[in-house]
Amino acid sequence: LAEYCTSGKELQPAENSSYFGLLKSATDAKEVLEFLPSISRTKQDRHLYTLPALKTLFELQKSGKSTLRSDQIVRHPRFAELCENIQIGYKLDHDNVQQLVELLEFVSQHKVNDRTVMNIYGKLLQNVFAALERDLDHLPFKMLDYVLKKVLDKNLEHYPMFYHEPFLKRCAQYAVDNDIGLLNALYMLKKMNKISFLHIPLLDYIASHGSKLSLIPTSGIITIVAGFSNANYIPSNWDTVKEEILRNSSIKNPSIPWIRYNLELLSLDIFNAKLLTHWLDPQLLEASMSRNVLMDYLQLTELGQTLRLLYSERYQGPYPAKHYQEKSVTLMLQNNDHPLLKPLEYAFGGEEYINTQVVTDYGHVLDHVIVFDADGKAVKARVAAPETGSAVRLEDIRQLGSKSVAVLYLPKSCYAINVNRLRGRFVLHIKTIQALGVPTVTISPLIWSNLPENERIPFLQREITQALRQQV
């Protein structure tokens, strides 16, 4: 080391020296870096030496045994090489938890690219989930509930590695197999609802306690309604469950997501006129909407559509004011992502056959509308908006042909996360469009993305032709 410092020449270890031995005896972080070029550069050796070198480097620097400052270490070309070995060449041993923990400790203290960090997180989580699945039946419910909460508190869009379907299935089945009781089952269902995870046996277990629903708090009623609506599922004893929900559905706490709650009730065909009249009182509605939550405008418009088109004979209360619907339409027209547009144009003859972002008098914004003649052939029915910045109206299009079909590309959030099944609220939305006499085709992003390119056009043609035969 002295020779290196005075002459600038790189020291070479003896032929029989061990880099592992150097790491054990190193007294300066600089040694770890400067001796690194002398080791074999095979992929196997990189895997063998990278983690021990980084660990020793970290420990020496942490204990102050370094003639290089932290910024000098980070800028050192050998340090960059070590990091690169982790980023592109380090083969993680999924079963070596100690190694993964050491890697996690290192990356938490140093600048390493996000992809590498997420990779380590993911491998560690795989071990965690495997251990939990193996020993799940030996865990007390409180521990399982705590773990489930921690996992599902994560934003799965940003941290997809926290979504582990087999683990969630085992958790839901745990509730059934261990007969954990109605309240504990609702605690679990509430967490599953958060990500729209569907598990029919858990819902059946809760339904089996249908006669006890009057004993649970209002939050439990909201959870049950959301769970069955998300699954779009009716258990065998639904008449009992439905009656109990209806009897206990009049929840007027201003802190609840009342628009969604009422939509979910209606998706289960649970109609509470007094509750709807309460929430849609103009003064109360104005106070609620003053928060200016964008999702509220969209859901409120859906609620108005449902009441006008599906429950007009039963509902005699106030409706949302027109300006809420107009705000909702404005928001939906801002969407410029239409992955089906070009395929539809190709499938049905060209752009003059497809109308996009078509607005109904009730505030629907339909992704695409195609008009057909009496023989089932697409007709040219491209309608220009009457004014710049205004939308194409469904009523203008329908005058040009015998039958119109709406095509919707619904986002993933409209479906259960683990099953390609449309959630009840969005099934209800489709029913309101069909109530206008418009057959509706929904295209799932999951199905669309998994279709080979050469099957997409025939798939669209087949789905839309089938919709034409529907009696709406």
Place of tokens 């929430």: 279
Q: From residue 291, how far is each of 252, 281, 327 by CA, in Å? A: 18, 16, 14
Question: In this structure, is residue 394 part of a structural domain?
Answer: yes
Question: In this structure, is residue 247 part of a structural domain?
Answer: no
SS3 content of the chain, % helix, strand, coil (to 5): 60, 5, 35
Q: Are residues 364 and 431 in the same domain?
A: yes
Q: Are residues 12 and 155 in the same domain?
A: yes
Whether 416 contacts 203, CB under 8 Å: no
pLDDT digits (tens, 9 = 90+) for 351-388: 999 999 999 999 999 999 999 988 889 998 877 766 65
Q: Are residues 350 and 306 in the same domain?
A: no
Q: Are residues 8 and 131 in the same domain?
A: yes
Choose one of 99, 133, 163: the last residue of a domain.
Answer: 163
pLDDT digits (tens, 9 = 90+) for 255-275: 999 999 999 999 999 999 999
* Residue 310, both tokens: 């599906």
Number of domains comprising the chain: 3
Q: What secondary structure does DSSP assign to 1-59, as a single string?
A: -HHHHHH-PPP---TT--HHHHHHH--SHHHHHHSGGGS--SHHHHHHHHHHHHHHHHH
Q: Are residues 401 and 458 in the same domain?
A: yes
Q: Are residues 291 and 385 in the same domain?
A: no
Question: In this structure, is residue 255 part of a structural domain?
Answer: no
Q: Are residues 11 and 111 in the same domain?
A: yes
Sequence-distant (≥ 6) Cβ neighbours of residue 375 within 8 angstroms:
none
pLDDT of residue 472: 53
Choose one of 131, 163, 195: the last residue of a domain.
Answer: 163
Question: In this structure, is residue 171 part of a structural domain?
Answer: no
pLDDT digits (tens, 9 = 90+) for 78-135: 777 766 665 544 455 556 666 666 666 766 666 666 777 777 778 888 888 888 888 8
Distance (Å, whole) CA 434 – CA 127: 48
Q: What secondary structure does DSSP assign to 145-210, as a single string?
A: HHHHHHHHTS-TTT-GGG--HHHHHHHHHHHHHTT--HHHHHHHHHHHHHTT---HHHHHHHHTTG
Confidence of residue 239 (pLDDT cuts 50, 70, 90): very high
Question: In this structure, is residue 277 part of a structural domain?
Answer: yes
Question: In this structure, is residue 244 part of a structural domain?
Answer: no
Sequence-distant (≥ 6) Cβ neighbours of residue 128 within 8 angstroms:
none
Whether 226 contacts 198, CB under 8 Å: no
Domain enclosing residue 292, as ranges: 271-334
Residues in the chain: 472
Q: Are residues 300 and 346 in the same domain?
A: no
Distance (Å, whole) CA 281 – CA 265: 18
pLDDT of residue 418: 96
Distance (Å, whole) CA 334 – CA 83: 43
Question: In this structure, is residue 435 part of a structural domain?
Answer: yes
Question: In this structure, is residue 357 part of a structural domain?
Answer: yes
Residue, of 251 and 93, whose pLDDT is higher: 251
pLDDT digits (tens, 9 = 90+) for 399-445: 666 789 999 999 999 999 999 999 999 999 999 999 999 999 999 99
Burial 235-270 (b: 16+ CB within 10 A, else e): beebeebbebbbebbebeeeeeebbbbbbbbbbbeb
Q: Are residues 110 and 54 in the same domain?
A: yes
Residue, of 72 and 351, whose pLDDT is higher: 351
Q: Are residues 157 and 289 in the same domain?
A: no
**Would you call 381 helix, strand, or coil by DSSP?**
coil
pLDDT digits (tens, 9 = 90+) for 169-222: 999 999 999 999 999 999 999 999 999 999 999 999 999 999 999 999 999 999
Mean of the per-residue pLDDT values of the chain: 86
pLDDT of residue 453: 94
Give the residue among 105, 55, 54 at the shortest CA–CA distance from 80.
54
Q: From residue 36, how far is each of 54, 78, 165, 178 by CA, in Å? A: 11, 7, 43, 56
Please tell me which of 9-18, 24-33, 423-432 the model is most confident about, judged by mean pLDDT.
423-432
Q: Are residues 18 and 79 in the same domain?
A: yes
Choose one of 292, 311, 334: the last residue of a domain.
Answer: 334
Give the residue among 115, 110, 120 at the shortest CA–CA distance from 80.
110
Q: Are residues 369 and 454 in the same domain?
A: yes
